[in-house]
Structure 1
């Protein structure tokens, strides 16, 4: 009976991971990152990675992480108790089967494209209504279409606009906008287009992804989240 209980409970744990991963993806997180972070939070291992900032800096993802962390702590206690033969015959296996069935159904529902898309839209709308702009990651504030991007451009020796004013690089009719220039530890926000670009400058661009990549492919770095 104890082994059956453990087996069913492990199925429940897996279903919780799948559901949490799907919910994290609804908030805009990459599927691979979502699954890894869900496992990390539930097991309490590997969560202190750079990718964890994508969870911590997002209000909805933080709430999902709270549930996962608490469930993980509870699950560890349950599994240790089971292995230690503390389980008795009066554990209700049928109840566990019902719970796992419900979780399995929820996991399947979240994978339906139409439902996933509708839920994603509702989450984004709720985020915009309930949280201030300063609480949200760049993606939720500035990404209005799939082709929007915020990305860094580095001015190196080969960059054709080095030692030229920024206004010579960006054409007025293009869907490319400069948010700021990072020069060492000092961000430049004023008179951007009159600023002369120097070696090592990091220009934060916002606009059409395809156009930005077409013009500056060899000088782009990581995308901002």
Structure 2
């Protein structure tokens, strides 16, 4: 019975490793960690959510190839797990009628303990950082992917995020140029602007005007983006902008003081 549960745990472990490798591969194509993780698990399990992110996978040749491999491996994994579960149930029924009733509980305890360990490994940031480095090194060596851990490069695990923000007509952002908005003074960088029904403007310049219904790709502290999303046009919005600039100034002053102490 232990062998059946061990086989099931081994299958689950391999599934976690496969989805983790696929997550890093998706990240190498420019996807964020959360999007890459979601799409890897979606393709591996065959759920197939119809979202804009899924379309970005299908329309990208490298991502599409990764997803196809995941679908194939996922089908094999489901068949293996199903067969192993059936074997485990059969052995449990045999054990119930045998001479060792504790055998069932020992096997279940072994399986539950192994499952808890896998859950911890899957959610451990310490394990994730080191495993990602190993996977990235292997992908660079054995594939043509230009692997970069964009999450680590942009410090997205330290409060900073890359997020989309849709501009509504009543927003403080609407109908102003980037120079007028002065978002870098708040610690917000505009990486790109997706025009509604129009082109994508990458690395926009200061004279780029933000129009209603544009979608901005922003890099900033998550709290700052959330506040910016609720900021409305008018004097109140201008006051919120001034307060955000002052707050960012204090943060930068603190960082400068820490750097001087460390020199």
The bucket for the TM-score relative to the shorter chain is 0.5 to 0.7
Alpha-carbon separation, structure 2, partners of 1:60 and 1:107: 27
> Counterparts in 2 of 1:66-215, with a 5 A limit?
67-76=73-82, 104-112=112-120, 116-131=124-139, 139=151, 142-183=154-195, 184-215=197-228
Give RMSD over aligned pairs: 5.3
Alpha-carbon separation, structure 1, partners of 2:71 and 2:155: 24
Q: What is the deviation of 1:199?
A: 2.0
Larger radius of gyration: 2
Q: Secondary structure at the match of 1:122?
A: helix
Which runs of 5 or more structure 2 residues have no equivalent in the other structure?
Answer: 24-32, 58-62, 99-103, 233-263
Q: By percentage of residues, which structure has more helix?
A: 2
State how many pairs are aligned.
194
Q: What is the deviation of 1:168?
A: 1.9
Alpha-carbon separation, structure 2, partners of 1:60 and 1:116: 24
Which runs of 5 or more structure 1 residues have no equivalent in the other structure?
Answer: 220-225
Q: What is the deviation of 1:204?
A: 0.8
For each residue in 1:54-94, what CA deviation from the matched residue of structure 2 results, as whole angstroms up to 9, or x when unmatched?
Answer: xx7599999887654313123446778999x9xxx9xxx9x
Q: Secondary structure at the match of 2:230?
A: helix
Q: Secondary structure at the match of 2:184?
A: coil
Q: Using a 3 Å threshold, how does the CA distance of structure 1 residues 131 and 217 change in structure 2: closer, same or farther?
A: farther
Tell me if structure 2 keeps the 8 A contact 1:166–1:192: yes
Q: Secondary structure at the match of 2:218?
A: strand
Q: Using a 3 Å threshold, how does the CA distance of structure 1 residues 151 and 211 change in structure 2: closer, same or farther?
A: same
Q: Using a 3 Å threshold, how does the CA distance of structure 1 residues 213 and 79 change in structure 2: closer, same or farther?
A: closer
TM-score, structure 1 length as denominator? 0.57
Alpha-carbon separation, structure 2, partners of 1:125 and 1:62: 24
Alpha-carbon separation, structure 1, partners of 2:214 and 2:133: 36
**Greater relative contact order: 1 or 2 (C-alpha under 8 angstroms, separation 6 or more)?**
1
Q: What is the deviation of 1:150?
A: 1.5
